[in-house]
Copies of this chain bind each other. A is one copy, B any other.
């Protein structure tokens, strides 16, 4: 089952069920009004949504043509956005790029940061860049949406708390990072609003590609019309189950919490990159200095994940960089 959110002028938008072929959507007054409302009462909502999806697929309820530009992020405002950094190749490259050592516990203790979740971007929202000197970069990631997670939940018990899967562009202002991290409290100004894919899907939509808390598919990033990379999710060092076990050590999480994988990155250079910081680091290793600039006004970024049948499961994130209006 795939869900999306229509921008209807309300703060949380309107839940849409997506037809299997991805070409049409539908909603119904008998269903929860929003994805958050569905998550709040998932055990009742899920069967009703699945039944409606079946009727839509069978042509027994009418679908409306999907217009991706009318979609917001599946959760326009979320209660938490916790982002891991579970692809260690990314951590190693990015730390090297800013002259920092990876933490000593890199392979045993997951890195996570708490992101802003009150204002999130839709899949085709512009990336507004007030100051090119901030060093705008994209970061393509896989994200899960959690149900209620009690404090103390262990990785081995985490799977049942994963409700939906989606993608994000975890936008980063690279040139604001070093000074901010030097203050010791983590990212803040260096992480503007994150953009999310059109569809949030139940794990069964991925078939066998969802296993051991990882999505075993390539994440395809296209920058200014050219392939930037298609690294696979297989190399996620800490699985989403591990990340749940980590974050739940000292507190509980409410339904609707977004939990990210961190930038998808593979050790094999042939898979390309999911953020410019990695490409710049590789250039530095090879030639002594980075030659790829950060994003500028007019640039475009596309992020999608193709399943074994070649279907873009989550729809596409397609954004353009624009100046302050």
Q: Is the interface of A mostly helix, strand, loop or mixed?
A: loop
Q: Which of A62-70, A106-114, A207-215 contacts B (4 or more CB under 8 A)?
A: A106-114
**Is A42 among interface residues, defined by CB-CB distance under 8 A?**
no
Within 8 A of B (CB), among A143-189: 151-152, 173, 176, 179, 181-189
- Asked if A185 and B250 make an inter-chain contact with CB atoms under 8 angstroms apart, the answer reads no
Q: Which of A76-84, A224-232, A300-308, A311-319 contacts B (4 or more CB under 8 A)?
A: A76-84
Q: Which of A19-27, A116-124, A271-279 contacts B (4 or more CB under 8 A)?
A: A116-124
Interface size class of A (residues with CB under 8 A): 35 or more
Q: Chain B's nearest CB lies how many Å from the CB of A319?
A: 15
Q: Which of B77, B187, B247 contacts A185 (CB 8 A)?
A: B187
- Asked if B116 and A114 make an inter-chain contact with CB atoms under 8 angstroms apart, the answer reads yes
Given A80-B117, A117-B80 in contact, is the A185-B252 Cβ separation under 8 Å? Answer: no
A residues apposed to B, CB below 8 Å: 11, 40, 77-80, 82, 85, 100, 103-105, 109, 111-119, 128, 130, 134, 151-152, 173, 176, 179, 181-193, 246-247, 249-254, 256-257, 324
Given contacts A111-B185, A114-B116, A117-B117, 5 further A-B contacts (CB under 8 A): A79-B118, A82-B188, A112-B185, A118-B254, A188-B247
